[in-house]
């Protein structure tokens, strides 16, 4: 079944939500309420535009220069099922998929819902953590505050699977202590 996502909007050729020319999707709905949030208009749930995953997928493919897609918000993890479905489709066309969230890696791995963990397992990059105004730093690349991390999700999930004694199945989530994620070291993401 094709999922419907409630979005605040899209930017079809963003250069500020990750490296290169990206298609950015802003989820509608967030309860983190970060003081100084860049997108406070996206906080209220269900007040955006409903759009199908297949319609977004089709729209993304219209620009041949776009090779990366960024989920932002609001917080896409509040609509994990739809964004997971979209991320899986994007990977069939070899798009890089990045996502911003106010949740931490540790929370998503240990306490995230099955839909949130499905979304996490379909990402390449996760920028995690709430925006903290006291740690705001305008010199950071693709982050707003010092506490936020740019995480290499596939490598982090492999490390998690290895720790849990499972095969390399990225869905080897655990309620045991979560190891720190493996941070992205690609210059295009971290400078």
pLDDT band at 58; cut points 50, 70, 90:
very high
Whole-angstrom distance, CA of residue 116 vs CA of residue 81: 7
- Confidence at residue 89, expressed as pLDDT on a 0 to 100 scale: 97
Q: How much is the mean pLDDT over the chain?
A: 92
- Residue 169 confidence (pLDDT) above 70: no
Q: What is the pLDDT of residues 16-26, one digit of tens each?
A: 999 999 999 99
CATH assignment of the domain containing 87 = 3.20.20.70
Q: What is the pLDDT of residues 67-109, one digit of tens each?
A: 999 999 999 999 999 999 999 999 999 999 999 999 999 999 9
Which domain range does residue 61 map to? Answer: 4-190
Q: Three-class SS of residue 99?
A: strand
Q: Three-class SS of residue 69?
A: strand
- Name the residue among 129, 138, 81 with its Cα closest to residue 108: 129
- Confidence at residue 61, expressed as pLDDT on a 0 to 100 scale: 98
Q: Where are the alpha helices (DSSP H) in the chain?
A: 53-60, 80-92, 105-111, 114-121, 153-163, 187-190
How many domains is the chain partitioned into structurally?
1
Whole-angstrom distance, CA of residue 126 vs CA of residue 105: 8
- Confidence at residue 22, expressed as pLDDT on a 0 to 100 scale: 98
């Amino acid at each position: 079944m094709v999922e419907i996502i409630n979005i605040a909007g899209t930017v079809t050729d963003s250069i500020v939500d990750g490296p290169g020319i990206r298609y950015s999707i802003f989820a509608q709905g967030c309860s983190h309420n970060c003081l100084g949030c860049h997108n406070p208009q996206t906080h209220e749930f269900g007040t955006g535009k409903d759009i199908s995953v297949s319609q977004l997928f089709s729209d993304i493919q219209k620009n041949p220069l776009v090779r990366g897609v960024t989920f932002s918000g609001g917080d896409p993890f509040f609509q994990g099922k739809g964004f997971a479905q979209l991320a899986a489709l994007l990977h069939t066309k070899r798009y890089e998929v990045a996502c911003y969230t106010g949740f931490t890696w540790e929370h998503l791995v240990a306490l995230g819902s099955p839909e949130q963990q499905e979304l996490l397992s379909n990402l390449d990059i996760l920028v995690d953590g709430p925006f903290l105004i006291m740690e705001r730093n305008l010199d950071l690349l693709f982050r707003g505050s010092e506490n936020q991390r740019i995480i290499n999700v596939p490598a982090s999930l492999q490390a998690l699977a290895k720790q849990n004694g499972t095969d390399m199945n990225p869905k080897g989530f655990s309620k045991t202590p979560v190891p720190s994620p493996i941070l992205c070291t690609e210059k295009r993401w971290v400078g």
